[in-house]
Chain A
Amino acid sequence: MSHLSERLAQLKSENRAAFIAYLPAGFPTVEKSKAAIEVLVKNGVDIVEIGFPYSDPIMDGPIIQEAADIALANGTGASEVLEILGFTTNLKVPAVVMTYWNPIEQYGISKFADAIKSANGSGVITPDLSLEEANPWIRESDRAGINNIFVAAPSSAPERLSQVASACSGFVYAASLMGVTGTRTSVSSSAKDLVSRIRESVQTPVCVGLGVSTPEQAKEVASYADGVIVGSALIRVLLEQPDFETGLKELAVLTKSLAEGIRQAR
C-alpha cells in the first residue's frame, strides 16, 4: 500500500477529507518551491501534488500556465521534479506527481515509474493520458509499485466512467466541472453528482479538483469527497505578492484557512 493510500485510509477513519495541494516544481525556482511546500505541509496539507511544468498544458488555466512558464524559463525538467519530489517525501508527507504525458514518454516510461518510486513518490496523475493509450503506463506503474491516477470528467457516460475509475489506484481524480484549472466563484453542482456516480463502481477514494479556491468551497467539497485538491488559488497568492517572503506568509494564511474549512466539514 502506498503512503498515499495509507494516509487516505487513516483520514477516512478520522472521518475527514484530505487536503491535497498542488504546486508546479521549480516555481518560482527550485529552492523557493521547496520553501513553499514546507509552508503547505506545516499549515495542514495532507498530501502534496507536484506539477511537472509543461509547454502545452491544455488542461490548465492562466494561473498554472503562468507558473509553469516561469518554472520552464528556470530550466525545470525531470531531474528537478524528482529532486523536489524527494524533498517533499522526506517531510513525511505523501506526494504524487501530476504530469502531461509527453514528458513521461520522453524520459522513458519504465525509467520514470522507477524514478518516482526511488524518490518515495506514491504515484502519478496523468491528465491527458486517455485510457486507450494507458496500458504501457499502467503496466510499468504497477510493476514499480506506484499508483496511477486518472482524471474522471462529468461528461463521461456510466460505462466509461466506471472504466476510468477502475483503472485508478490511490484515488480517482474527479474534475468538478467541464473546464480547465483555475479559481471559480462557486463549486459546480456536477462535482457531488460525479463523486457519487464514481462510488457506484469503485471503492477507491475519490478526490475533487478544479476550481476549488476558498475555505467555504473546500468545506463544501470536504463534506462529501475523500479529498479536496487546491492548486491555482495557492499559486495565485505567490504570483500576486510583490516579493516571495510576503507570498509565503500569505500562502501560510490561505493554507491554514483551507485546512480549517476541510476539518470543519463533517
Chain B
Amino acid sequence: MSTTAETANSTYLSSFPLGHFGEYGGRFVPEALVAALDELAQMHIQTQADPTFIAELDELHRTYSGRPSIITEAKRFSAYAGGARIILKREDLNHTGSHKINNVLGQALLTKRMGKSRVIAETGAGQHGVATATAAALMGLECVVYMGEEDTKRQALNVARMKLLGAQVVPVTSGSRTLKDAINEAMRDWVTNVADTHYILGTVAGPHPFPTMVRDFHRIIGDEARAQVLELTGKLPDAVLACVGGGSNAIGIFYPFIQDASVRLIGLEAGGDGIETGRHASAISGGRPGVLHGARSYMLQDKNGQTRESHSISAGLDYPGVGPEHSYLHDIGRAEYRPITDKEAMEAFSLLSRTEGIIPAIETAHALAGAMKVGNELGPNSTLLINLSGRGDKDVETAANYFENLKM
C-alpha cells in the first residue's frame, strides 16, 4: 500500500536540493554543527535502505511501543461534527502516550549506530522528553532533557516521569522559558558536546536533515491509517486532520496522502486567545517566513526579525515556528492551516472525554475542534480521519483548573 505513495512522493520534492521544501527548510546553523548534521543526514539515508535497521525498528514498534496503533470510530462524537464519520488514529495508545515515540526510537537507534553515548532533547509538553528518556533507558544512553521553566510547572507530571526514567531534566530560565528557549539551550549543549552527543530533535523543524528524517520516522502513522481506513470504509477519507505545533504528528499522517488529490489535509494551529489578539501560536495563520532554529519557515516575529513569544494553553503547541514542509504545503495549497482558540480546544477536549471515554491531550484537542468545524462544513456523508496524537493524562490538572475557573 505504501509503495504507491512512496513512488509518487519521491517526485513531490525532487526539484529542490535535499533538505529544501521550495524556499523553506535548509540549514542555518553554526559551522560547528555542520559535520554532525552531514553525518546524520548520511546515516539517515543509509539506514532507510538497510534491512537490518528497518527490521530492528519494526521489532521495537511491534514489541515495545505497540504498533500498529488501532483506529477507532467516534460514533457519539460524530453528532457534534455535523454527523460526519469520524475516525481516530490512536497514537495515544502508543507506549509513553503519544506519537513522539515513533521518531525517538528511530533516532535512538541512529545514535547507537553513530557510536554516541549521550542524547539530549528539548520538550514542551514533556511528551517528547518522556519518549526520549524512555528510549535512552531502553538503550542505555545518558539523557538530558531541556524544558522551559514555565513548562516544568505546567507539565509537572511529565517532569516526574522523566526523572523516574533516569533522565536529567534541566529547567531553562532564558527568554520566554518555554519550548523555543529549550531548543536554544539544547542547541548550545549540542554545539559544545557534539562529539559524543546526539540531539534528538522532537519535531519536523530545525536544520536539515531533521525535517525530513523526523517525517520519515512518523510517516508510519499515515501509512497505517491510510490502509486501515480503506479497509474499514472501502474508500479514502475526505479530509485528514491533525494539530500543528512544530508539526510532527501532522506531517506523519499527511505525508502518505499527499498524492491523493481528493483528500483534504487540514492542520490546526494553536490560536490561543485568537489570532486578532496577537496572543497565539499560529505560525502559518498569523506569521510570515523567516529563519528560526536552523531553517526557513513561517514564524512569529517582529519587524526586526526577533522571534515573538507564542501563547497557547497547550505547552506542546506553544512554539513560534513550524516545520518547513508545512510552510511549503501551505504555499502550494496542498494543505490548509486554521487556528483553533484555547476555548474551542477545551470544548473539544471535554466533548471527546464525555462522548467517547477518551481523554485527549490538549494539543490533540485542537485537531478535534477542527474536526467539529470541518464535519459541519462537509456534512454527514463525509469521512474525517483525525490523528489522535496523544492522551491527556498529563493535562488533567490544567484542564481541571481551566474548567474550575470558568465556573467562577
A, B: real partners: yes
Also in contact, A58 and B30, with CB within 8 A (given A178-B194, A180-B191): yes
> What are the 3 A-B residue pairs with the smallest beta carbon separation, nearest first?
A106-B305, A153-B32, A77-B304
In the bound complex, CA of A102 to CA of B296 (Å): 9
Contact B191 A178 (CB under 8 A): yes
Residues of chain B within 8 A of A133, CB atoms compared: 26-28
Contact B28 A128 (CB under 8 A): yes
Residues of chain A within 8 A of B193, CB atoms compared: 178
In the bound complex, CA of A104 to CA of B34 (Å): 21
In the bound complex, CA of A57 to CA of B30 (Å): 11
Also in contact, A106 and B303, with CB within 8 A (given A55-B175, A101-B291, A156-B34): yes
B391 in contact (CB, < 8 A):
no
Q: Write out, one digit per residue, whether chain A residues 60-96 have a CB within 8 A of any chain B CB (1) or not (0).
A: 1110010001001000011000000000000000000
A127 in contact (CB, < 8 A):
yes
Query: Which of B47-55, B110-118, B180-188, B348-356 makes up part of the contact surface?
Result: B180-188
Contact A59 B291 (CB under 8 A): no
Of chain B, the residue at the smallest CB distance from A104 is: B305
Interface set of A (CB-CB < 8 Å, partner B): 54-62, 65, 69, 72, 77-78, 101-107, 127-130, 132-133, 150-157, 160, 164, 175, 178-180
In the bound complex, CA of A127 to CA of B32 (Å): 10
In the complex, chain B residues 28-87 whose Cβ is within 8 Å of any chain A Cβ: 28-32, 34-36
B293 in contact (CB, < 8 A):
yes
B192 in contact (CB, < 8 A):
yes
Residues of chain B within 8 A of A175, CB atoms compared: 30-32
B144 in contact (CB, < 8 A):
no
B306 in contact (CB, < 8 A):
yes
B174 in contact (CB, < 8 A):
yes
Contact B30 A59 (CB under 8 A): yes
Residues of chain B within 8 A of A101, CB atoms compared: 28, 291
B156 in contact (CB, < 8 A):
no
Contact B304 A128 (CB under 8 A): no
Residues of chain A within 8 A of B291, CB atoms compared: 101-102, 105
Q: Which of B32, B192, B194, B293 contacts A56 (CB 8 A)?
A: B293
B341 in contact (CB, < 8 A):
no
Contact B30 A103 (CB under 8 A): no
> From residue B177, how far is it (CB to closest CB) to chain A in Å?
12
Of chain B, the residue at the smallest CB distance from A132 is: B27
> From residue A71, how far is it (CB to closest CB) to chain B in Å?
11
Contact A130 B35 (CB under 8 A): no
Interchain pairs with CB closer than 8 A, number = 113
Also in contact, A178 and B28, with CB within 8 A (given A55-B175, A58-B187): no
Q: Write out, one digit per residue, whether chain B residues 276-304 have a CB within 8 A of any chain A CB (1) or not (0).
A: 00000000000000111110100001011
Of chain B, the residue at the smallest CB distance from A178 is: B32
Residues of chain B within 8 A of A59, CB atoms compared: 30, 188, 191
A-B contact pairs, 6 of them (CB 8 A): A103-B304, A107-B305, A150-B31, A152-B31, A155-B32, A180-B188
B2 in contact (CB, < 8 A):
no
Residues of chain B within 8 A of A102, CB atoms compared: 290-292, 301, 305, 307
B13 in contact (CB, < 8 A):
no
B195 in contact (CB, < 8 A):
yes
Of chain A, the residue at the smallest CB distance from B208 is: A132
In the bound complex, CA of A151 to CA of B31 (Å): 7
Excluding A106-B290, A130-B207, A151-B30, 5 further A-B contacts by CB distance (< 8 Å) are A107-B304, A130-B29, A178-B195, A179-B192, A180-B188
> From residue A159, how far is it (CB to closest CB) to chain B in Å?
11
Contact A180 B192 (CB under 8 A): yes
In the bound complex, CA of A151 to CA of B30 (Å): 8
Residues of chain A within 8 A of B296, CB atoms compared: 105
In the bound complex, CA of A225 to CA of B292 (Å): 33
In the complex, chain B residues 163-178 whose Cβ is within 8 Å of any chain A Cβ: 174-175
> From residue A179, how far is it (CB to closest CB) to chain B in Å?
4
In the bound complex, CA of A61 to CA of B30 (Å): 14
Q: Which of A57, A106, A150 contacts B304 (CB 8 A)?
A: A106
In the bound complex, CA of A133 to CA of B35 (Å): 16
Contact B36 A155 (CB under 8 A): yes
Residues of chain B within 8 A of A180, CB atoms compared: 188, 191-192
Residues of chain B within 8 A of A55, CB atoms compared: 175, 306-307
Contact B30 A128 (CB under 8 A): yes
> From residue B184, how far is it (CB to closest CB) to chain A in Å?
5
Contact B305 A129 (CB under 8 A): no
In the complex, chain B residues 1-40 whose Cβ is within 8 Å of any chain A Cβ: 17, 26-32, 34-36
Also in contact, A105 and B305, with CB within 8 A (given A58-B187, A130-B28): yes
In the bound complex, CA of A61 to CA of B174 (Å): 11
Residues of chain B within 8 A of A160, CB atoms compared: 34-35
Residues of chain A within 8 A of B29, CB atoms compared: 58, 128, 130
Residues of chain A within 8 A of B187, CB atoms compared: 58
In the bound complex, CA of A57 to CA of B307 (Å): 11
> From residue A255, how far is it (CB to closest CB) to chain B in Å?
27
Q: Which of A154, A155, A160 has the most CB of B within 10 A?
A: A155
In the bound complex, CA of A78 to CA of B304 (Å): 7
Residues of chain A within 8 A of B301, CB atoms compared: 102, 106
In the bound complex, CA of A41 to CA of B105 (Å): 54
In the bound complex, CA of A160 to CA of B27 (Å): 15
Q: Which of B194, B292, B296, B306 has the most CB of A within 10 A?
A: B306
In the bound complex, CA of A55 to CA of B300 (Å): 12
Of chain A, the residue at the smallest CB distance from B305 is: A106
